[in-house]
Amino acid sequence: MADVVTLGETMALWRADDSGAPVNGARGTLGFGGSDSNVAIALARLGHSSKWISALGDDELGSMIASGIRSEGVETSVKFSNSHFPTDNVLVVGDLNDELTDEESHNVFQTVLGDIFNYKFVDMTLAEA
């Protein structure tokens, strides 16, 4: 039995290598992320047994996410849905130097910072620790 079980949505992420809007042929990195799977992976890396439960699309991105999480030592319980419900994905535009403390005119997160009804930054304490 796992020490910790997480349940939630993990999405495919494509991060552009260059800042700004992506253009045709832009290079980037494909990965995955979600608070539930991130916690399960972090705990596994710290030596705890963890299990992640989720549903993914029955597609290449769903397979990539499930195998990536398993490769981190996390037990997975995944329900693969049919192709009518593909794996969610997110396009990340910007670079690793983007900070929530940047000036308004340079902050890629500015459109979401004041929208407390649709966006919540619950992991800032952890991220800044």
CA distance 111 to 124: 17
CA distance 87 to 56: 5
Q: Where are the domains of the chain?
A: 1-17+26-93, 96-129
pLDDT the model gives residue 118 = 55
User: What percentage of the chain carries pLDDT values higher than 70?
Assistant: 62
Q: What is the pLDDT of residues 52-61, one digit of tens each?
A: 998 888 888 8
What lies within 8 Å, CB to CB, of 57 at 6+ separation is 80, 81, 83, 85, 86, 87, 88
The CATH number of 1-17+26-93, from 3.40.1190.30, 3.10.20.30, 1.10.940.10, 3.30.70.370, is 3.40.1190.30
